[in-house]
Amino acid sequence: MKRRSLVIALASAAALFATWTPAAADYPERPITMIVPFAAGGPTDIVARIAGEYMAKSLGQAVVVENVAGAGGTTGITRASQAKPDGYVIMMGHMGTHGAAPALYPALKYDPTKDFAPIGLVAGTPILIVTRKDFPAQNLKDFVDYVKANQNKVNEAHAGVGSVSFTTCTLLQSQMGTKTARVAYRGTGPVLNDLVAGQVDFACDQIVNLVSQIQAGSIKALAIATATRSDVLKDVPTTKEAGLPEFQVSAWNAIFAPKGTPAAVVAKLNAALVAALDDENTRRRLLELGSVIPDKAGRTPEALQALVESEVARWTPVLKAAGAVAN
Ligand code: MLT
């Protein structure tokens, strides 16, 4: 028995040493780039900058956000997935780039379940159905009726095929039985600008992007697609209360590194993220924007890998049924 235990111990030490490199031991020695695959000012960018600010303190190096927009977030994620796996390029992905994208892009240049080193989940982000403030519907039921009767005049704005806004409004339109014009932007930051300006009619977007504009009355929130109302938007009914119970959907934002990133580097990045999510100020900023902060068990790289696998499996049939998959 003793010989067997010694062999196992030596094998474990060898495996650990294999992932240890001098670089990993001293990581990070210079600023870290976090690729955000959408335009500045949208939900992915907001979550990245809040989490990145505290992670930088924890790691002792700057975390520099680089916005690389296009193709519903897949352009930036493709670039990040091909970066050197040394921990100096990481990315903020989400339910679109790492859940829906494979169904929407048959020639996608990455596999969300295989081509990344998951670092950790940052925030759950409930989805709201929002319209320009003078849209002729005062509640979700009127909205559905109006869009059905005027679908050749109404337009929806999203952040590109594969984005959360595109994916969730694809589901919404499928459930409403409508096919309006759909306008693609480089992120829902710019979408929000045009909603406020009255240039587009409606969108499905993540709560962190919307709270201040809803509270200011610059746009209208018809419903939130979660089982319970948000603590920061108590007057916005759930889709169930508003008469569309089948529209239940939430998004999430998470940090990934390229596949092959040393385990010691992944562990340091995960520790910095966990510290950020325990930091009172960071929590306050995320919570006041309506985020759902994962518990300890939900913050591990393993939990994120399981989430990605379940989301890819979930969204593929949904998007096929909605006819959204490019054939
Ligand atoms: C989306 O998927 O809709 C993005 O989150 C939009 C954004 O972050 O700009």
CA distance 201 to 263: 46
CA distance 116 to 251: 19
Which pLDDT belongs to residue 69? 97
Number of Cβ within 10 Å of residue 157's Cβ equals 28
Residue 139: φ, ψ to 5°: -155, 175
Question: How far away, in angstroms, is 94 Cα from ligand 1 center?
Answer: 9
163 lines ligand 1 (CB under 6 A): yes
Question: How far away, in angstroms, is 125 Cα from ligand 1 center?
Answer: 11
Which pLDDT belongs to residue 193? 98
Which residues of the chain fall short of a pLDDT of 70? 1, 7-23, 325-327
Residues 6+ away with beta carbon under 8 Å from 190 = 39, 41, 42
The answer to whether the beta carbons of residues 251 and 14 sit under 8 Å apart is no
* Nearest CA owner, ligand 1 atom 8: 44
99 lines ligand 1 (CB under 6 A): no
CA distance 98 to 307: 9
Whole-structure pTM value: 0.92
Sign, Cα dihedral of 132, 136, 139, 140 = negative
167 lines ligand 1 (CB under 6 A): no
Number of Cβ within 10 Å of residue 264's Cβ equals 16
* Amino acid (1-letter code) at residue 327: N
Question: How far away, in angstroms, is 209 Cα from ligand 1 center?
Answer: 9
- Tell which residue, 131, 288, 117, 273, has the closest CA to residue 200: 131
Number of Cβ within 10 Å of residue 321's Cβ equals 11
Question: How far away, in angstroms, is 25 Cα from ligand 1 center?
Answer: 35
Residues 6+ away with beta carbon under 8 Å from 19 = 262, 263, 264
Which pLDDT belongs to residue 265? 98
The answer to whether the beta carbons of residues 94 and 44 sit under 8 Å apart is yes
Which pLDDT belongs to residue 320? 86
CA distance 45 to 33: 13
